[in-house]
A and B are shown apart, each in its own frame.
Chain A
Amino acid sequence: MKTDRIIYFAGLALVILAAALLSGCATQSALQVRQPFMPDKYKAVRIEPCIDRTSYTGERDIAAEATLTLTEKIRQSGLFEIRDDAPLVLTCEIEKFEEGSASKRWLWPGWGATRAWVSVMVWEQPGDNVLAAMRSRSNVESGGLYTIGAEHYILGTAFDDIISQMREWAGGKTPGR
């Protein structure tokens, strides 16, 4: 009976440990609002090509991927219409991108982390007026083999968070709050 208990608690401990190690993606957000959102005025946006500020040397064109991902996320969100002559302009940057490795982080949490750090600024044209700035940092630092492919969805995760921040701004978040 005592052995059964030990096995039970050992099993429970392993499950808790596994759950802790498998909980993969974490995202940090920072929203700075400089002007309140004006729903009657801000209906359409133009999206500038994303700038790659990373030291990524892989084969992927992450600037192009990021631009495409942001465009898709904006379109799906229904927040804005996308038009070339829109008075609102979105500029975007990839500040950090690491593909990482699922097998490495499975062996050692933190090793082989997949990261995508992006920022988006919302401008009103003409006049170069910055309305809001959003930053999102998505990391998959631990997790098992199920995190294979994180390097492909991590940009989408980061831009999902940017869209959430845009919704917060559009929902009435005002400067200084």
Chain B
Amino acid sequence: MPVGKLLKGCGFAFVFLAGALASGCASVPDVTTGAFTQVDRIDTALKRGVSTKMDVQKVLGAPNGFGSSVMPGDPETREIWFYDDVELTDYHSEGGGVFRMNVRQQILLVFFKKEAFDGFMWYSTKTVRQR
């Protein structure tokens, strides 16, 4: 009965594959925008009014976005580099098709005045990171 055996084999393979794909036992998938920008080095590695854009690139990497802004009280335009990092840290099913997810996010803005590093601000949800 080679045909019967073949069909049985195919059926088993499909059942195994479907079971594997449908099993909800997977660990947290690697869903991230990449390595997080190291904000803890900014204070020591960069100097306001001295460090150049290339210095900033060496410390923080390539930004995700570029822009410019005028700050209140100072009419001079500042260039801004934008860094954004997001990572899925944990998720689990609550039943009924509902999933709860924990996400770590970090946003960093770096300001330049006359081509020199002029300051930064950042926000992170690191405190609620569970891993």
* Same complex: yes
Q: CB within 8 A of B62: which of A96, A110, A127, A133?
A: A133
Complex Cα–Cα for A99 and B78 (A): 41
Q: Mark A93-121, 1 if CB is under 8 A from B, else 0.
A: 10110000000000010100100010111
Asked if B66 and A32 sit within 8 Å, CB to CB, the answer is yes
**Residue tally, chain A, CB below 8 Å to B:** 29
How many pairs of A and B residues are in contact by the CB < 8 Å rule?
53
Question: Least Cβ distance of A50 to chain B in Å?
Answer: 11
Asked if A91 and B54 sit within 8 Å, CB to CB, the answer is yes
Instruction: Determine the interface band of chain B, counting residues with CB < 8 A from chain A.
Output: 20 to 34
Name the A residues within 8 Å of B66 (CB-CB): 32, 34, 130, 133
**16 CB-based A-B contacts, threshold 8 Å:** A3-B3, A10-B10, A53-B35, A53-B61, A91-B57, A95-B35, A96-B34, A110-B29, A120-B62, A121-B62, A123-B54, A128-B52, A128-B53, A130-B53, A130-B66, A133-B66
Interface residues of A (CB under 8 A from B): 3, 6-7, 10, 14, 17, 32, 34, 51, 53-55, 91, 93, 95-96, 108, 110, 113, 117, 119-121, 123, 127-128, 130, 133, 135
